[in-house]
Chain A
Amino acid sequence: MVMLRNTRTRWGALSQFLHWLMAALIGVQIGLGLAGANLPLGMSKLATLARHKSLGLTILALALIRLTWRALNPTPALPGALKAYERRLALATHVALYTLLIALPVTGWIMSSARGFPVSWFNLVQLPNLVRPDPALYHAMVLTHIVLASTLGLILILHVAAAIRHHFVLHDEVLRRMLPGPRRIHPGVMDDRH
């Protein structure tokens, strides 16, 4: 049976679904952002950036849903074999990832408002401007957005490297419990490895 909720040893179906959906969307999002910023001024730049904005806002909404769901659920404990610094690093990267998933859309939205380009969500609803047009703020936000996006890229490399290390080097459950599959029969084993 598929478990919707998390347990102390495993991510539930909703957490898994949101994790992998967002991972895919963020891949597309970074691609759209880079393409949009580098295209020459033209219709395809407008279209690309419009999609980038709509998808970015979707990611913001999903991040908020995900954090709410996380607060309402137990969080699987890290394997007992991990050293204190590894736990701190895991926590720090996860906090940084959530922070960036909120800060990036917000800076993007402020950027668009400050330049006098109102934002819509997939041409369906126009969103309010967060600030009045302000060229200095616009330039500051573009820079912030680029710095944050690069930071996200670097942290994701670390995050993926850690997942690979857990699975192929430490041979623990960390990657498997974020993937669909048979539920573990002996949850206690988790803390007894190595």
Chain B
Amino acid sequence: MTATDTLRRITLWLTLSACTAAYAGTPGPTYTLVAARSSLTYTFEQAGAANVGRFNTFTVRFDPTAGTLMVVIDMRSLDTGDGQRNDLLGGHDFFDVARYPQARFTATRLQKTATGYLATGPLTLRGVTRTVEVPFTWRTTQRGGRAIGTLDGATVIRRLDFGVGQGQWRATEWLGNAVTVRFALDMTSAAG
């Protein structure tokens, strides 16, 4: 490596650090969901095949500067693509949406990672609260004076940790314990 190369690298690094510092210093916007362009899905294994469903109604507030992330899911918006399966998964033995109409995740810690963030905090689902880690990527662009962000990620939780699957449904041979929760969110800054 030549001396010029080294110098160029150092300059680049210094510029980037300065920008990051400047960015972190300014109070950033709070982002809220563009519901029509966002999705929240889950996948679990049933008899060796992926079983996928979604929640159609949920809210997300994200402030990267303040380091806050809050997600509230309307459990009654569960959509499995099949009426009988909606009744089963929404019923007492699974999500029991009549008694627990909301699920909630609040990040109590937001760590910067190479590609985005790692959010850690309590997830309350079916009345049970457990700490989960949620890694996600975060990209922003400017559009018409507004900051537009995309928040994408996935995490794996165990349904039985939250009592999702009571009685005979506790067995995991035909209905896997691991559930992958995926989200692809379009967010817009509240200011603008």
Which residues does A use to contact B, with CB under 8 Å?
41-43, 46-47, 50, 53, 115-127, 133, 135
The 6 A-B pairs at the shortest CB distance, nearest first, are namely: A123-B48, A120-B48, A50-B47, A118-B49, A120-B49, A116-B81
Tell whether A41 pairs with B82 under 8 Å between CB atoms, given A46-B175, A117-B49. no
User: Quick one: which of B76-103 are within 8 Å of A by CB?
Assistant: 80-82, 84-85, 88
How many Å from the CB of A108 to the closest CB on chain B? Answer: 14
Chain A-chain B contacts (Cβ-Cβ < 8 Å), number: 50
How many Å from the CB of A62 to the closest CB on chain B? Answer: 20
Bitwise, B11-45 to A at CB < 8 A (1) or not (0) is: 00000000000000000000000000000000000
Does B66 belong to the interface (CB within 8 Å)? no
User: Quick one: which of B52-88 are within 8 Å of A by CB?
Assistant: 52, 80-82, 84-85, 88
Pick the contact of A116: B48, B80, B175 (CB < 8 A). B80
Whether the pair B81, A126 counts as a contact (CB closer than 8 A) is no
How many Å from the CB of B38 to the closest CB on chain A? Answer: 21
- The majority secondary structure among interface residues of chain B is mixed
Pick the contact of A43: B82, B84, B168 (CB < 8 A). B168
Tell whether A50 pairs with B48 under 8 Å between CB atoms, given A43-B168, A43-B169, A43-B175. yes
Whether the pair A43, B49 counts as a contact (CB closer than 8 A) is no
- In the complex formed, the residue of B with least CB distance to A115 is B82
A122 CB contacts on chain B under 8 angstroms: 48
Whether the pair A43, B174 counts as a contact (CB closer than 8 A) is yes
How many Å from the CB of B174 to the closest CB on chain A? Answer: 5
Interface centre among A43, A125, A135 (most CB of B within 10 A): A43
Can you give 29 contacting A-B residue pairs, CB < 8 Å?
Answer: A41-B88, A42-B168, A43-B168, A43-B169, A43-B175, A46-B47, A46-B174, A47-B47, A47-B173, A47-B174, A50-B46, A115-B82, A116-B52, A116-B82, A116-B85, A117-B46, A117-B49, A117-B51, A118-B49, A118-B50, A118-B51, A120-B47, A121-B48, A122-B48, A124-B48, A126-B49, A126-B50, A133-B81, A135-B82
Rounded to whole angstroms, the CA-CA distance of A160 and B53 in the bound complex is: 46
A41 CB contacts on chain B under 8 angstroms: 84, 88
Rounded to whole angstroms, the CA-CA distance of A53 and B175 in the bound complex is: 16
- In the complex formed, the residue of B with least CB distance to A112 is B49
Rounded to whole angstroms, the CA-CA distance of A3 and B49 in the bound complex is: 41
Rounded to whole angstroms, the CA-CA distance of A190 and B88 in the bound complex is: 61
A53 CB contacts on chain B under 8 angstroms: 47
B169 CB contacts on chain A under 8 angstroms: 43
Rounded to whole angstroms, the CA-CA distance of A146 and B16 in the bound complex is: 67
Tell whether A50 pairs with B174 under 8 Å between CB atoms, given A117-B49, A118-B50, A126-B49. yes
B175 CB contacts on chain A under 8 angstroms: 43, 46
How many Å from the CB of A56 to the closest CB on chain B? Answer: 13
Interface centre among B47, B88, B173, B174 (most CB of A within 10 A): B47
Does B171 belong to the interface (CB within 8 Å)? yes
B84 CB contacts on chain A under 8 angstroms: 41
B173 CB contacts on chain A under 8 angstroms: 47
Interface centre among B85, B173, B174 (most CB of A within 10 A): B174
How many Å from the CB of A51 to the closest CB on chain B? Answer: 9
How many Å from the CB of A8 to the closest CB on chain B? Answer: 44
- In the complex formed, the residue of B with least CB distance to A133 is B81
A121 CB contacts on chain B under 8 angstroms: 48
Rounded to whole angstroms, the CA-CA distance of A50 and B88 in the bound complex is: 18
